[in-house]
Structure 1
């Protein structure tokens, strides 16, 4: 459509840049949730005398909530709007993070609640950033956006306008006036009426449309590929501190390597962002996926050798962050505008479901070799 094509082929306005910047900052919530759980795992394991299987379920509890949020909350962004859905999700995240847990069962429940909000927000943000970005800068923006997983911070929701794609494709109440307000902030002329819907923006019949016809194969392959990729990442990010702590005999070293992996993630995002200026995001994604397969195989064989593991510890973070940025940059435009929230929400949700299995499966073989020992109780 003319208005959307004009926005996407023109230099980004201050409003677009500001909206993307806030979205980048919000990625901190997802990164903090995963990182804090991983860093706390060795201490919680000792303090609460958790066996590896229970620890695996604890590490996966947040992912369970994220999967549910992505699958069942994000699709509402196609009905009530991207911005409103993010506000609802933020309330859930805040509730799950401020509640105090006195035992492992309560902690699992609160992490599920926080994960529910994170899942509903992050998948929605992926769609939002794609729709706010220009075609020329989308790959680079998603490189920076993925970096927000580790370095962002919540700035404030009043800086987030509604998505133009949502207003045009779904046409909620007062859509024209809301659209013109945003266009004025972008210094574009107001519209006298809503533009005619193209076939890509017409209303579809929910998830059923994504799983019928030629779109079905594309949808399933996207979901499967993202799921396998993100499962490898969550295995590395959640269990690495614990595995290194066990092999080295020191919790501090495990936390250090966890930080190294996350620092590698930041590097990977910026590398992807810079290279996306010159190369297509789809080509970068293919290259990073092939590289990550080799890197994870090497890392899996070397983590027992502490010095080697630390030396290459940043590399899994580098390639995985590039993978995530690549998926986020390329996939939203593959779904119809009226179903982007549903399509990306289910992609991220299925990815979370697959990733839940990784921390749990690691715990079962660990019970044969590294049973948890009760920690001595210190009385002040």
Structure 2
């Protein structure tokens, strides 16, 4: 008599099987979407000097514009991304791409500060959802052996998207105007929407864990695309899994959730300072907006190899140690940014140092988040951590604008955010030491 197929046996089969073409395509779609996130995340920063010059915007108002998409991202991460643990990954990916595309198009057509701010907020809603989903999709469509690499690839995708976006923005600012920077994002979003509609099936991990209506037909359809045999019996789930925020604070999970959320909040506060204000700082040093965009992409350029290097170190050393050291290194790089002279080579070197340590820390940290939560809590967990961090840390560009507006120098503002970045690394390392590395074990790929 055939033994019933359990959830764990299905997951194990998917973990142990070779990667199929359909799985690779799904991961590639996730990486491409992450690249669009990286581009659109920095789009406002790329055009900030041009908008400031064209509309005569003060630094305080510019700070609000830079923070508008981050506030939208927080709302998307907290309010919308948990729906992916209820209705599925695929419909939320399509919704997020639609929001991102429409928000970018509205940004390109904006004629007032209020229109641009609201449009960037709508765009941020889509980016906030996608930040949670790209990691989850990469984790759930990869096998056990490739999972860590697939998650790291989405982080690299963000860096590559920011780098290519900076190059495109520099060319568009020089020839077409700042509106076309957002127009290109809308075009790319539309293309990826139809690509995901065709090539991205529902996550098998979600279907197995949720077991929704018509689960047999839906799951077997996905398994056929993944070249897996069809299941004939409903999975036996040894324990009930919850997909609400309450589950994130249940016994045994609360400390993990809170720890990740606070560390992420501190990290993104410093990260969005450098991402949002670097082009304007370069422009303030006397360079044209197009040159400011080119110099700012240095942070993304060095982020690609640094994420891969950090991932390699994380397989040999405790991931928490790698992430903590990188966060402290990011703080030191911000100090460097504050003290270098306002020359092209010096700013490029300091920006590169910031990008290297920032990308290294986020690559390992995102992998830890993705594997710390079970499938029915994964997107909710990533969404809460991201949303909580963005809700508070996303105000970093606004506070930076206030500090600049009150007369603080690049040195003083950079030192302030350097303390925040270093605090994130120290907090993460101290907590890990006190728990004996328990969560560090969970940060390794699910098997």
> 4+ runs of 1 displaced by more than 4 Å?
152-155, 273-283, 303-306
SS of the equivalent of 2:353 reads helix
Matched, 1:54 2:92: no
Superposed CA RMSD in Å reads: 2.3
Unaligned runs of 5+ in 2: 1-7, 162-187, 410-447
Residue in structure 2 matched with residue 114 of structure 1 by the alignment: 123
1:347 to 364, 380, 385: 385
2:323 to 255, 267, 285: 285
Matched, 1:15 2:22: yes
Moved more, 315-324 or 91-100: 315-324
- Write out per-residue CA displacement over residues 317-340 of structure 1, whole angstroms, 9 at most, x where no aligned residue: 122122222122121221132121
- Write out per-residue CA displacement over residues 21-50 of structure 1, whole angstroms, 9 at most, x where no aligned residue: 110001122112122211111111111111
Residue in structure 1 matched with residue 242 of structure 2 by the alignment: 204
Distance 2:334 2:84 in 1: 35
Post-superposition shift, 1:176?
A: 1.6
Distance 1:275 1:180 in 2: 38
Distance 1:315 1:68, change over 3 A: same
Alignment of 1:1-380 (within 5 A): 1-99=8-106, 100-151=109-160, 155=192, 156-157=195-196, 158-199=198-239, 202-204=240-242, 206-248=244-286, 250-272=288-310, 281-282=319-320, 284-302=322-340, 304=342, 306-369=344-407
Moved more, 333-342 or 218-227: 333-342
Post-superposition shift, 1:220?
A: 0.3
Distance 1:138 1:172 in 2: 25
Moved more, 301-310 or 132-141: 301-310
Post-superposition shift, 1:359?
A: 0.5
Post-superposition shift, 1:282?
A: 4.9
Post-superposition shift, 1:276?
A: 5.8
- Write out per-residue CA displacement over residues 325-364 of structure 1, whole angstroms, 9 at most, x where no aligned residue: 2122121221132121211111111122233221011111
Distance 1:130 1:24 in 2: 12
Distance 1:139 1:173, change over 3 A: same
Post-superposition shift, 1:115?
A: 0.8
Distance 2:89 2:229 in 1: 23
Distance 1:278 1:141, change over 3 A: farther
Higher relative contact order, structure no. (Cα contacts within 8 Å, ≥ 6 residues apart): 1
Moved more, 15-24 or 274-283: 274-283
How many residues are treated as equivalent by the alignment? 369
- Write out per-residue CA displacement over residues 176-229 of structure 1, whole angstroms, 9 at most, x where no aligned residue: 222112222222221111211133xx2326111212323111110011112211
Residue in structure 2 matched with residue 378 of structure 1 by the alignment: none
SS of the equivalent of 1:168 reads helix
Residue in structure 2 matched with residue 377 of structure 1 by the alignment: none
TM-score by length of 1: 0.90
Unaligned runs of 5+ in 1: 372-380
Distance 1:250 1:87, change over 3 A: closer
TM-score by length of 2: 0.77
Distance 1:119 1:249 in 2: 32
Does the 8 Å contact 2:69/2:121 carry over to 1?
Answer: yes
Moved more, 142-151 or 94-103: 142-151
Distance 1:108 1:350 in 2: 21
Does the 8 Å contact 1:89/1:118 carry over to 2?
Answer: yes
Does the 8 Å contact 1:167/1:179 carry over to 2?
Answer: yes
Distance 1:29 1:94 in 2: 10
Distance 1:359 1:101, change over 3 A: same
Distance 2:341 2:44 in 1: 20
